[in-house]
Structure 1
């Protein structure tokens, strides 16, 4: 039975990661299709705690194309050192005109493409490992 787990676990995890990566990629493309890009200022960082770790998010201040001033916690996680370095600097900000508080820094992670493609690639790797193990077991 345990040898079947060596096949099932990579196949299930890999397939799930591929589906998750494709979903994240499509959501990122949808966001980018309607997002507006404006200059914004990194005014600080916001730390979010989870059970055993924490993440840092930029606090962004920008003006929408409609002239509304927004200050919000960005949706793009970043390292604490990176945010310390960026504090007081101008960056590109992407925001959804229907929900301008859901802004992101205009970076590869902010655009959502790098992470989603990485997740799908890791999923493909796990799926291939599962298929190779299955093939080796069957033959």
Structure 2
């Protein structure tokens, strides 16, 4: 059994800070679950251009409001507590947090991330094989 406390892990190497977001990775590849689980804060007013070409991601909004735009279709969906979205087609997207406050999101990645990933110039995390080659 794995038990982790967000308030503790927020002060460890499991916390990753990047431009526009902070993520605490509660489950990682080395936990052997086949997915990773993160609590991610999208900072107020952030606009993030992302493309998880090497991962599938599912996200559940727990707090805050914003929007997500599918760049393939141009369709924009409102994000608020209780809304889930899944990037089942490696969708290029723009995630925006409203200026009034941050969005707190629960995120699942498959394949799992190793822990220190940040978005590359193309908006994606590196594939695990790329991480192993550069490590």
Using CA pairs under 8 Å that are at least 6 residues apart, name the structure with larger relative contact order, 1 or 2: 1
TM bucket, shorter chain: under 0.3
Structure with the largest fraction of helix: 1
Hey, which of these two has a bigger chunk of strand by percent?
Answer: 2
**TM-score, structure 2 length as denominator?**
0.25
